[in-house]
Chains A and B, each alone.
Chain A
Amino acid sequence: MMHSLQARYHRVVGNKTFVFPLVLFLLVVVVNLYLQNNMLAPRVLNANLRSFTPLIFLAVGQTLVIIGGSIDLSLGTIMSLVAAVMVTRFTDDASTSQFLLIVLLGIGVGLIAGALNGLLVAYIRLPSFITTYAISYIYAGIALWILPRPGGTVPILIARAYRALIPYGIPIGVFLVLILLLLWSFLRSTRFGTFLYAIGGYIRAAYTSGVPVERHRLVTHMIAGAIAAFAALFFVLNTGSSDARIGQQLTLDSIVATVIGGTPLSGGIGGVAGSILGVLILGFIRNIVSFANVNSWFQPVVDASIILVALATPGFVNLIRQQFVKKY
């Protein structure tokens, strides 16, 4: 009886970890709409989504790594590094093929950085938390060396096209999210996806079942690095230049978005959809705070408090439910 109930609970809620973030998301959107009436106008929405897009990519990469039982605290600095590489190579009037070549170069840099993380974590077996934190200073340092002062450039026509692109009246950001979700659901349905959950759930069981644990963890970190490179691409296209420090604070944001989205740091469960919602929730919370005329010195405090409440709510709900179960 108990077991079947538990099983049913897991089937309904456990596999749909994004139920809670969905509720939170709707709440945030409603409040935001109240404060910013033109929020759903295509142009405004497009601008908002474009500014969220880099973090969406980072959070997706972070979620992969976290589901696999690891963490990447260098993800933001990989984005800084790739952005620095791109804006110093781009020219104002680069042709499409030149542009694509430099994008490929950036993705290559992301892959290499991710591979370095993966080698240290999977083969040398260093704890990912400390390793990727330490290595983030190397990526940040190289980024600063490449781009000492904020600046650089992007191909103007391509950037302008990207910013104005609203196909069928739907912001480009929505398409990017859909592409990410499609790729994720494909990955999830491959053997690679199953291994990811197995390794994050119980690495020893995965190993004894013959899962190539080391290679898989390496590849996971590489994918995260490549996704961070895309984050860099959409960031520089949106802003037209870059700053070597731009990604640093986004690392923690990507983790917060992942956790709000229902993927716990313990690994083995969760999914990407929730993390994307998590990024939107974070973004809209910041919108709300800035539209609510909060004293700008005080904004980070309000911002952080709301995030903290959002993080704590599932725990509270659990606590109350347990009390309830105990009584009956």
Chain B
Amino acid sequence: MITFSSQDVVKHYAGVVALARGNLEARSNEVVALIGANGSGKSTLCKIITGVVAPDEGQLLLNDQSVSFAAPHEALRVGISAVYQELSLVPTMSVSENIFLNHEPLSYNIVVNRRAIRQKTQSLIDLFAGTVRPSLTPDTLISSLPPDEQQIVEIIKAISQDPKIMILDEATSSLDNRQVTRLFELIKQWKSQEKAIIFISHRMGEIFRIADRVTVLRNGRTVDDHKTDDVTEKQLVNLMVERDAIEFQPASSLDSRISELGQKPVVLRVVDLQTDILKKVSFELHQGELLGIGGLQGQGQTHVLKALFGAIPSDGNITYNEQALISKHPTHAMRMGVAFVPGDRAREGLLFRTSIFENLLLPSWSRYGAFLKIGLARKDANKSAESLRVVMDGIDMPVSSLSGGNAQKIVIGKWLQRKPSLLLLNDPTKGVDVGAKGEFYELLSVLQKSGTSIIFYSSDDEELIGLCDRVLVMYDGRIRRELAGTDLSLVNLIAASLDTSGEDWA
């Protein structure tokens, strides 16, 4: 039996309070969920528990004894391991080397036993058998894996240490339904092996599926701690954000909107779009339409967006505003008014060390003349940061000082500067908290009203149902089904995602 708790932990970053009073308790045979809006201090609390950062005040108790960690390996030594939100894998190394990094089995006490590493890795991968592609082997390089499999490798890496306390920080954000289901089966096993699990997720449904207890953080303070059975989703959301839950558009107005849209001109016509993943994808997009793309992750949704943007080579006919959109290169697509908001904001969307100001204006400097009109540029940047309601210390702060949700606003904001007529969104709300999502939805509807056409890929099914006029459900590189009007329901979406084969998905 083990109990671990953080007591009144405080952490400041350069004057900003990241954590004001972080209290959390984890026990053997129990899954405790830690929830809170972005910037509420979940990740900071995690990093303190795992020894990545040191707390300014407060203490950590392991079985009622005070402990402190100067570095991650000290936390590992007492049996705490974590699946981190920002991936902690070395991209240039193989899956097996990453999993056993720092606890490699040795022969003769010195030489790394590669065969043992490979075998053990294979048996760990087999835990997720059936939900990962066969290309995931112990020798695969991390950099060649898609995000969901990288996340699975992270999970495997954490469990390979046989920890007493395991932290899963947004560990499901890249996983599809089947992978999540498998993970939850595994978590139940681990729980029965006397492990204590700390589970962090934005997906409310998952918390009710897996957690025994919920601890709520708000603005760096632990505000509540409940048995999961004693609370409702709505109560938790209210605890997290100090305002009412976000409102989805009422479904009744959908049909009238659809017919309205039918009269609007078609701006984008895609015929037989093909890449190495996509197989003859065809669809149309009306002006001012918000078209959703859904389905299990990795079925080609991102490829559709990237092909339209010219970021990957493709075949087929694309006409945009009656002009052939031969997307050879993103600059060409940009010139025609197409903007692409990438999903992996850390890698593709932002320069983290550069200021918010420069990030916002990066795609649109050409508008400010050869000798840059900095004053005007700053004014525009301030205006757009304000309209996006970015929480910041000023536009000269680096993007790295922002919380995840606010950083995502910058990614979108920088493309809005160019006033695009077609916006391609690649899973923009992944890992974004409920409050920021609400603001993001408002932003989308404002854009839509001003005539911007939007294609919106999301891994959040409910979001697609709530927001979109039409949803294309993709499976294996094809559009499996188009859902609109009364057909557009969660049941239909999930059924189509699974190719209506009646697979057991939950």
Contacts and interface: CB of A to CB of B under 8 A. Distances in A.
A209 B161 CA distance: 11
Contacts of B73: 210-212
Interface string A172-203: 00000000000000100111011101101110
B92 interface: yes
Interface stretch (A5-13, A97-105, A159-167, A300-308): A5-13
B409 to A, nearest CB: 25
B58 interface: no
Contacts of A296: none
Contacts of B52: 207-208
A210 B135 contact: no
Contacts of A186: 111
Contacts of A11: 139
Given A204-B88, A205-B90, A1 B112 contact: no
Nearest to B51: A210
B141 A191 contact: no
B106 interface: yes
A186 B84 CA distance: 32
Contact of B101 (A1, A211, A325): A211
Contacts of B97: 194, 197-198
Contacts of B143: 10
Contacts of A193: 112
Contacts of A206: 90, 101
B450 interface: no
Contact of A198 (B72, B90, B313): B90
Nearest to B140: A7
A295 interface: no
Contact of A7 (B82, B110, B144): B144
B277 A205 contact: no
Nearest to B298: A3
Interface in B93-115: 93, 97-98, 101-102, 104, 106, 110-112, 114
Contact of B90 (A4, A6, A7, A197): A197
A1 B276 contact: yes
A106 interface: no
Contacts of A208: 50, 52, 72, 82, 84, 88
A202 B90 contact: yes
B92 A268 contact: yes
A2 B300 CA distance: 12
A127 interface: no
B490 interface: no
A96 B111 CA distance: 34
Contacts of A3: 133, 135, 144-146
B324 interface: no
Contact of A189 (B88, B111, B144, B276): B111
Contact of B72 (A202, A209, A325, A327): A209
Interface residues of A, number: 35
A292 B91 CA distance: 45
A14 interface: yes
Interface in B69-99: 71-73, 76, 82, 84, 87-93, 97-98
Main secondary structure of the interface of A (DSSP, over half): helix
A197 B90 CA distance: 9
A10 B92 CA distance: 10
Contacts of B88: 204-205, 208-209
A190 B102 contact: no
B13 to A, nearest CB: 16
A194 B112 contact: yes
A273 interface: no
Contacts of B82: 208
Given A1-B277, A326-B313, A10 B141 contact: yes
Interface in B15-58: 50, 52
Nearest to B84: A208
A2 B276 CA distance: 7
A7 B102 contact: no
Nearest to A199: B90
Contacts of A210: 71-73, 76, 102
B259 to A, nearest CB: 40
Contacts of A268: 90-93
Given A197-B92, A205-B87, A190 B313 contact: no
Most buried by B among A11, A14, A202, A204: A202
A-B CB proximity, top 3 nearest: A210-B73, A201-B90, A201-B92
Given A2-B277, A191-B106, 13 more contacts: A1-B277, A7-B141, A10-B141, A189-B111, A190-B110, A190-B111, A190-B112, A194-B104, A194-B112, A202-B91, A205-B87, A206-B90, A210-B73
7 contacts: A3-B145, A191-B110, A201-B93, A207-B52, A210-B71, A210-B72, A212-B73
Interface of A: 1-4, 6-7, 10-11, 14, 186, 189-191, 193-195, 197-198, 200-202, 204-212, 268-269, 325-327
Interface of B: 50, 52, 71-73, 76, 82, 84, 87-93, 97-98, 101-102, 104, 106, 110-112, 114, 133, 135, 139-141, 143-146, 157, 276-277, 313
